[in-house]
């Protein structure tokens, strides 16, 4: 397929697109093409050291993706013809393309990086700028992609390439503006950013420079929209505080000092508690529990689980998703399971039965 596409010029693409009898057939073709490209990008068709073949394939795919995007701009952007799923597939393919390992030039030696840039250019910039331009063309349809596209756009902006970051971070402000105009707030966007930032930074994304750019760009954008400025300033302060803690946490996770790891874990769980993100708070409670178990501090592990149990009630209502750690169950069932585990930890920590009973009774009364 790569060989065939590499032989096609603009006229070939145009002629082929015109062979489709109706819009639905063309939509099906584009959807299938995007899924195929995404699958091939993810499967690593060539060994990682076959760099020339990988870059040739990427260049061919990039041209095809951009050509198909131009077709979509012409045929599926107007209100009557807008295809949400088609555009969604495009964005996910484009982000998969830009974030693929073979294009992350920062991981290569200077010599190899310079050779790639000289022959192929930085394809991350090319498709990143295309994603930005297409986003702004969506108009009122942008709301269809919030919060679903927040995570993929975040993943793109975290790529450590200065110009790409500067070009794409403003999309976040546009999302804020769009959701606020639609709903009177941007709560969905904020929730998704916090959730996805935690995942991305823990996985190695982000750095202090990213934090600086995010703060500067969003505040500069907010300065041009006075009615939104206070809310955006609060959001930026929130995200900056989270990034500081996440970067500290990532730095110490391989630290020999368990105390340092505990300190950063406690900082994060307290942060999530303060901003009422119970799901993330519970996630870090269990990370703290694991650190205590690692050091055979069973009593501290029990006290950590008690913090989770205090969020549950003796009710037969199903647990909220953030409370589920053992499949679908009621709050009563999960609370009982936690108490069984807590008692087991107390036993291992040599805590007396009388003290255990008093602690659990005290919690149930409050």
Task: Match 């489709």 to its residue by tokens.
Answer: 20
pLDDT at 117 over 50: yes
Angle 241-246-252 (CA atoms, 0-180°, nearest 5)?
130
Residue 321 tokens read as 């998703």
> Which pLDDT value is given to residue 47?
86
Instruction: Report the distance separating Cα 210 and Cα 216, nearest Å.
Output: 10
SS (HEC) of the chain: CHHHHHCCCHHHHHHHHHCCCCHHHHHHHHHHHHHHHHHHHHHCCCCCCCHHHHHHHHHHHHHHHHHHHHHHHHHCCCHHHCCHHHHHHHHHHHHHHHHCHHHCHHHCCHHHHHHHHHHHCCHHHHHHHHHHHHHHHCHHHHHHHCCCCHHHHHHHHCCCCHHHHHHHCHHHHHHHHHHHHHHCCCHHHHHHHHHHHHHHHHCCCCCHHHHHHHHHHHHHHHHCCHHHHHHHHHHHHHHHHHHHHHHHHHHHCCCCCHHHHHHHHHHHHHHHHHCCCHHHHHHHHHHHHHHHHHCCCHHHHHHHHHHHHCCCCCCCCECCHHHCCCCCCEHHHHHHHHHHHHHHHHHHCCCCHHHHHHHHHHHHCC
> Which pLDDT value is given to residue 72?
96
Strand partners, 330: 318
> Which pLDDT value is given to residue 357?
58
Give whole-number Cα distances, 238 to 109, 174, 264, in Å. Answer: 37, 18, 17
Query: In the predicted model, what is the mean pLDDT of residues 138-144?
Result: 96
> Which pLDDT value is given to residue 319?
82
Of 58 and 351, which is predicted with more confidence? 58
pLDDT at 293 over 90: yes
pLDDT at 359 over 70: no
Instruction: Report the distance separating Cα 149 and Cα 280, nearest Å.
Output: 20
What tens digit of pLDDT does each residue of 55-76 get? 999 999 999 999 999 999 999 9
pLDDT at 31 over 90: yes
> Which pLDDT value is given to residue 290?
94
Average pLDDT of every residue of the chain: 92
What tens digit of pLDDT does each residue of 236-260 get? 999 999 999 999 999 998 888 888 9
Instruction: Report the distance separating Cα 354 and Cα 340, nearest Å.
Output: 16
Q: Nearest to residue 67, comparing CAs of 27, 21, 116, 12?
A: 12
> Phi/psi class of residue 327: alpha, beta or left (left: φ > 0; alpha: ψ in -120 to 50)?
left
Query: In the predicted model, what is the mean pLDDT of residues 284-307?
Result: 94
Instruction: Report the distance separating Cα 132 and Cα 202, nearest Å.
Output: 26
Task: Match 């976040």 to its residue by tokens.
Answer: 172
Instruction: Report the distance separating Cα 274 and Cα 268, nearest Å.
Output: 10
Q: Nearest to residue 120, comparing CAs of 44, 202, 37, 63?
A: 63
Instruction: Report the distance separating Cα 309 and Cα 361, nearest Å.
Output: 12
> What global pTM score does this model have?
0.91
What tens digit of pLDDT does each residue of 314-341 get? 888 888 765 545 566 888 989 888 999 9
Evaluate whether 103 touches 58 at the Cβ level (below 8 Å).
yes
Share above pLDDT 70 across residues of the chain, in percent, rounded to a whole number? 93
> Which pLDDT value is given to residue 322?
57
Cα 335 off chain centre by: 31
Query: In the predicted model, what is the mean pLDDT of residues 189-195?
Result: 97
Contacts of 130 (CB under 8 A, 6+ apart): 66, 69, 94
Share above pLDDT 90 across residues of the chain, in percent, rounded to a whole number? 78
> Which pLDDT value is given to residue 365?
47
Give whole-number Cα distances, 95 to 148, 154, 302, in Å. Answer: 13, 10, 42
pLDDT at 228 over 90: yes
Query: In the predicted model, what is the mean pLDDT of residues 268-274?
Result: 97
pLDDT at 287 over 90: yes
Sign of the torsion angle spanned by Cα atoms 211, 217, 220, 221: negative
């Amino acid at each position: 397929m790569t060989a065939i596409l590499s032989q096609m010029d603009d006229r070939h693409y145009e002629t082929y697109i015109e062979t489709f009898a109706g819009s639905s057939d063309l939509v099906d073709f584009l959807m299938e093409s995007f899924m195929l490209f995404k699958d091939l990008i993810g499967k690593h068709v060539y060994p990682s050291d076959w760099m020339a073949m990988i870059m040739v394939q990427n260049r061919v795919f990039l041209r095809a993706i951009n050509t198909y995007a131009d077709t979509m701009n012409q045929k599926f952007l107007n209100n009557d013809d807008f295809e949400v799923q088609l555009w969604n597939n495009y964005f996910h393919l484009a982000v998969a393309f830009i974030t693929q390992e073979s294009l992350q030039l920062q991981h290569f030696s200077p010599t190899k990086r310079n050779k790639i840039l000289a022959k192929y250019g930085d394809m991350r910039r090319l498709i990143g700028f295309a994603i930005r331009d297409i986003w702004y063309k969506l108009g009122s349809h942008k709301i269809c992609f919030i919060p679903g596209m927040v995570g993929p756009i975040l993943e793109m902006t975290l790529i450590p390439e200065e110009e790409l970051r500067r070009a794409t971070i403003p999309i976040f402000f546009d999302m804020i503006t769009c959701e606020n105009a639609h709903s009177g707030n941007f709560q969905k966007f904020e929730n998704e950013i916090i959730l996805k930032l935690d995942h991305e930074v823990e996985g190695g994304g982000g750095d202090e420079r990213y934090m600086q750019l995010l703060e500067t760009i969003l505040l500069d954008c907010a300065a041009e929209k006075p009615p939104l400025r206070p809310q955006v300033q609060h959001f930026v302060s929130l995200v900056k505080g989270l990034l500081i803690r996440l970067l500290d946490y990532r730095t110490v996770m391989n630290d020999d000092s368990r105390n340092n790891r505990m300190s950063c874990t406690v900082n994060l769980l307290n942060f999530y508690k303060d901003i009422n993100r119970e799901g993330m708070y519970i996630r870090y409670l269990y990370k703290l529990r694991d650190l205590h178990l690692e050091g055979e501090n069973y009593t501290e592990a029990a006290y950590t689980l008690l913090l989770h149990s205090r969020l549950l009630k003796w009710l037969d209502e199903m647990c909220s998703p953030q409370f589920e750690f053992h499949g679908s169950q009621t709050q009563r069932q999960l609370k009982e399971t936690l108490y069984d585990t807590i008692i087991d930890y107390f036993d291992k920590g040599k805590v007396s039965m009388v003290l255990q009973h008093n602690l659990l009774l005290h919690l149930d009364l409050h």
